[in-house]
Amino acid sequence: MSTSLPKAWSVTGLTLLLYFPLLAQIDLPVFFADHMVLQRDRPIRIWGTAPVGEQLRVSMQDRVTVVRADENGQWMATMGSIPVGGPYSLEIKGSTSYRKLQDVWVGEVWLCMGQSNMEWPLFKTDSYEEVRNQASFPNLRYFKVGKSMAMRPQQQLRGGSWQIASAETVGGFSGVAFHFAESKWEQENVPIGLVEVSWGATGIRTWLGPEALRKDSSLAVELSVMENLDIDKVQDSLGNAAVLWRESFDQYDLGLSEDWASTAAATLDWPTMELPDIWERGGPLLVDGTVWFKRDFEIATEQVTQDIELSLGVLDDRETVYLNGVELPTENFSFRSFRTYTLPQEHLQLGSNTLTVRIKDYGYVGGFLGQPSDLHLSQGDWRLSLAGSWRYQWGTPDLPPKPQALGPNTYPGLIYNAMVSPLTQLTIGGILWYQGESDLNAPFHYRRLLLNLVDDYRQQWKLGDFPFLIIQLPFFRTPLADPAESGWATLRESQAFPLARRQVGLVPQIDLGATHNIHPTNKAELGNRCATVAAILEERSPMSFGGVKVEEVQWLDSALIVKFDQVEGSLQSSTPDQIPGFAIAGEDGRFYWATAKLISETSIRLSSPQVISPFYVRYAWADNPGALDLYDGFGLPVSPFRTDKLKVPWE
C-alpha cells in the first residue's frame, strides 16, 4: 500500500501544515482581539511577543509601524491616531509569522473599575427590560477582566474576551458602565469600548500599585513581606489550615465530651431559639463552630409502632441527628439541600421523646434556613410541627479563630498586580471609578489612598492627566432624627479630595441610594451623570469638576449666608424657602437642623433657634440625609459638604 500523499495534498496540505504553526508565533494580550475598540485621538500602542529578532510590520488603515522583537521576544508598536470608525483590520506581519484582527473599531476606551456597585449587572437594574427590548444598541463593545490575584505585577491577564452589545449579551454588562457608554454614544456618536475591572467587597488597598503602596509607611511594610511570598504556596498553606480547623471541631466540642445527645444531659436551663432561624447575622450567636439544638415531642400508641419521617428543611452547613441519644445514619447531603431522616420504630418511646440536632457551621451563617412548614414529623396522615421553641447551646466556645482564606483584601496590591498592571500599556480615554463601601472602617484616611491611586495610575499609563471620574457614594441606611457624625459622609468628603488634581470629575449620587440596599438599582441615571461629567471635563480641560466650593460665609447676628463659587447656572430647588439637608453649629460644634432659604442664584441663608451665633455649616452630612432638593444648573445634585475642619471620629 502506497503511503504517498495525493497530489492535492502534496502542495496544499503541506502549505497548511507549515502555515498554521506560524500563526501562533505572534502572541498578543487577550484584549487585542477581534471586535475590540481602540482609543481615538491618541497614539495607539500594540504589543506582544514574537520569535526573537523577528521584524514586524504592524498596520491598520493607512498607519504602518515597523518594530523588532527583542532578545526576550517582546515588542511594542506605537501607531499614530486613527480616524474614528471601523470596521478596520489590524495586521501584524513578520518574515515567518502573521496575525490579523478583524472588526476593529476606533472610538472611546474607558476602564470601569471598582467593587460590587461597578460590577452590578444590567439585568439586576431597573432599566434592564427597557434596554433589552430595544434589541438595537450603538456600536458598544465590552471586555470583562477575569478575577485573579498576584503578589507581584503581571504582564498578562488570565482571561477575558470582547463582546458585542446585543439583547442577548448586554444583561451581563455592568449596569452603570453600560448606561455611561449609551449616554456617551448619544452625545458623541463614536464607538465605545468598556473594559470592566471589578471585584465586590474589595478595599482600596488591593487596587494600589507598588509605587503607591511605598508612599504609605504601613503599607510599605506589607509590600516588603509580599516580595518573599509565593501566592500559590500561601493559598495552599491557608487552605490546609482551614481544613485542619474544620477537622478540629470534634476536638473542641463540649457537647461531645459531655454527651449532650443523651436524654440524661442537663439541658433544661439552656436558652431557647425560635426555629427555623439562623444563629448568625441577626441571630443570638455570632460564631462559627457547632451549636446543639434539643426538642422534646410526644407520641401516642398509634405512632410508636412504626417509623416516623423527620423533615428538617434546609440546614447550614452539616448536621448530626440523634433520637433519644441514638445517632441516626447521615446521608451524603449536598450543600444546603433539603434534609429528611427516618426515626426508627425501635428507638421511639411511648410518650416523651427527645430529638437532638448538632449543626456544624464553617462560616457565614449557620442553622435552619427553611420555612416553618419544612420542620415537622409525619407518619401517614399524622403530622406534628416542630417549628417553634428549641433549646440550644454553643458547643465550641474554645474553638480557635477561623483561618482566613486568601482573598483580594488579604494583602495590598493583589488586584492591581493581576488585573490592572497588564492594562497599563493600553491606550485609554479615561477611568470610571466606583469603590469605597469597603473602606468605611477608615473613611478619613481613604482620601490619602485615593489621591495616591489617581496619581499612580496616571504615572503608570503615561498618558498625562487623562479623565478620572470618581462616583461618590449614595445614601444608605435609615435617616437619623438629629445631625450626627457619619462614616459615609466622611468617605464622600474623601472621594472629593483628588479634585485638587487636573481632569478629575466627581459624580454625585447622594439622591440615588436605597435605605436597605447597598446596591441601588437605578444605574441608568447614574450612568447618564457619569457621561455628563465626562463631557464637562472634556469641555473644560484641564480643569477638574465637582464637589462644592464655598466662596464666602457671611456671619449675621443669628444667621449666616453661604455663597457658593463656580455654581453652574444657578442653584435650583423646588422648595427654595425651606431647603432640606442643612445643619448649622456654633463654635462649640453642636449641630442642629437649619432653616435654609435660597436668597440668590448662588447664596443660601441659614438659621436655627437652637443656634444663637451660627459658625459652621454642614449639608447632607449623614449616612442617609433624607430627601434632598438642591441641584446645580446641570441638574446634578449638590454634593455633601461641610465648612468646618472639626475632628471626625475616624481621623
Q: Which three cell numbers stand for residue 496?
A: 472629593
3-state secondary structure 173-220: CEHHHHHHHHHHHHHHCCCEEEEEEECCCCCHHHHCCHHHHHCCHHHH
**Domain spanning 25-236+403-547, CATH architecture:** 3-Layer(aba) Sandwich (3.40)
Query: Could you please report the per-residue DSSP string of 47-76?
Result: EEE-STT-EEEEEETTEEEEEE--TTSEEE
What pLDDT does residue 138 have? 78
The answer to whether residues 81 and 399 touch, using CB atoms and an 8 Å cutoff, is no
Q: Residue 178 — φ and ψ, nearest 5°?
A: -60, -50
What pLDDT does residue 280 have? 84
Q: Is 388 left (phi over 0), alpha (psi -120 to 50) or beta?
A: left
Q: Which of 47, 67, 62 is nearest to 106 (CA)?
A: 62
What is the Cα–Cα distance from 174 to 118, expressed in whole angstroms? 6
Collapsing DSSP states into helix, strand and coil, what is residue 577?
coil
Q: Which three cell numbers stand for residue 571?
A: 442653584
Determine the distance from the C-alpha atom of residue 516 to the mean position of all C-alpha atoms in its chain, rounded to a whole number.
17
Q: Where are the domains of the chain?
A: 25-236+403-547, 250-394, 550-642
What pLDDT does residue 332 have? 77
What pLDDT does residue 599 have? 96
Query: Residue 606 is which amino acid?
Result: L
Measured CA angle at 97 (ends 94, 102), to 5 deg: 95
Cα pseudo-dihedral 209, 211, 216, 219, rounded to 10: 50
> Would you tell me the crossing angle of helices 487-495 and 446-461 to the nearest 10 degrees?
30
Strands 63-68 and 55-60, by their bridges, are antiparallel
What is the Cα–Cα distance from 541 to 536, expressed in whole angstroms? 8
Q: Which three cell numbers stand for residue 248?
A: 478540629
Q: Which three cell numbers stand for residue 14?
A: 503541506
What pLDDT does residue 549 have? 86
3.90.1150.10, 3.40.630.20, 2.60.120.260, 3.40.50.2000: which CATH number matches 250-394? 2.60.120.260
The Cα-based distances of 485 to 449, 477, 488, 640, 651 in angstroms read: 22, 14, 9, 13, 12
The answer to whether residues 592 and 618 touch, using CB atoms and an 8 Å cutoff, is no
What is the Cα–Cα distance from 150 to 418, expressed in whole angstroms? 5
Outline where 63-124 has alpha helix (H): 116-119
10-residue mean pLDDT series, the chain (651 residues): 41 45 75 97 95 96 95 95 95 94 97 98 96 87 97 93 95 97 94 98 97 90 90 91 94 97 92 93 84 96 95 94 95 85 96 97 90 96 96 96 91 97 97 98 97 98 97 96 97 98 98 95 98 96 91 92 84 96 97 97 96 97 97 94 96 95
Cβ neighbours, 10 Å, residue 288: 22
What is the Cα–Cα distance from 397 to 378, expressed in whole angstroms? 35
Residues 6+ apart with CB under 8 A from 443: 487, 488, 490, 491, 494, 650
The secondary element (H helix, E strand) that includes residue 458 is: helix 446-461
Which single residue is written with the C-alpha cell 493600553?
A: 426
> Would you tell me the crossing angle of helices 523-540 and 175-188 to the nearest 10 degrees?
50
Measured CA angle at 283 (ends 278, 286), to 5 deg: 95
Report CA torsion sign: 476, 482, 487, 489.
Answer: positive
Q: Which three cell numbers stand for residue 224?
A: 516588603
DSSP 8-state secondary structure symbol assigned to residue 474: -
Outline where 484-522 has alpha helix (H): 487-495
What is the Cα–Cα distance from 448 to 455, expressed in whole angstroms? 11
What is the Cα–Cα distance from 620 to 580, expressed in whole angstroms? 8
Helix, strand, coil shares of the chain as percentages rounded to 5? 25, 30, 45
Q: Which three cell numbers stand for residue 106?
A: 476606533
What is the Cα–Cα distance from 184 to 507, expressed in whole angstroms? 15
Query: Could you please report the per-residue DSSP string of 235-294?
Result: HHHHHHHHHHHHHTHHHH-HHHHTTTTSTTS--TTS-EEEES-BSSSSSS----EEEEEE
